[in-house]
Structure 1
Amino acid sequence: MKNNITILAAIIIGASVVSLGFITEKLGAPIWLIVLVPFPVGMTLLYLFLKEPFHIWLITYMTTLALYTVIHVIMSYFFKFNSLIPAWKLRV
């Protein structure tokens, strides 16, 4: 429990990734770039804040990404809400 990520670190990572994705979209970038650009920022910040070996970081990142994807699919399906990943429209 010595290397837990603080709430502030999680907010910094989330705000950075979302802001970068939003800015990329507003600049008129293609969809693939809007989805791709925030990944290295989120990955780097998580690695810096986590202060754990690479394999722990990788498991943490993949778990977070999977959870985010599940939340996005549920929100998009039930609430017709697409702004979690603006370029990834999941309306049915």
Structure 2
Amino acid sequence: MEYFVHFLLAILLTALSYFVGSRIISDGVAIWQALIIGLSVVSLGALTEALGAPIWFIVLVPFPVGMLLLFLFLHEPLYTWFFTYLITLALYSVFHVIMSYFFSFHSLIPAWRLS
């Protein structure tokens, strides 16, 4: 049950970073689109981890999926998408630092344990 709760929390925090990051630059993605991105990215990372891949690969694999889905959902020029993705990554990292440091939650970036 704890894994499922962590899985859902990782999806929600990932979706939140995409949603807020996209709203900072443009009209952004809809909440349901952010949830699809979060579900896809976290599920792919969890699947990669379940298959026993090395940690660097677990962290690397979801990036292209998140980038592609953001580009498809955003409907903005390439430079807007790029800056939106950078902001999303920054927010994602801030969420990870907070969750890892204060709550010992490492499901966002498993290789980067801060607590």
Q: Shared fold by TM > 0.5?
A: yes
- Higher helix proportion: 2
CA distance in 2, matches of 1:88, 1:26: 18
Shift in Å, 1:3: 5.2
Shift of 1:4: 3.3
Percent of pairs identical after alignment?
Answer: 67
What are structure 2's unaligned runs of at least 5 residues?
1-22
1:3/1:51 contact within 8 Å kept: no
Residue ranges of structure 1 left out of the alignment (5+ in a row): none
TM-score normalised per structure 2: 0.74
- Report runs of 4+ in structure 1 exceeding 3 Å deviation: 1-4
Cα distance, 1:20 vs structure 2:
0.2
TM-score, normalised to structure 1, is 0.91
Residues 6-45 of structure 1 show CA distances to partners (whole Å, capped at 9, x for unaligned) of 1111110010000000000010000110000000000000
Looking at structure 2, the residues matched to 87 and 9 of structure 1 have their Cα atoms a distance apart, in angstroms, of 27
Q: Which has the higher contact order (CA 8 A, sep 6+)?
A: 2
The alignment of Structure 1 onto Structure 2 pairs a total of residues equal to: 91
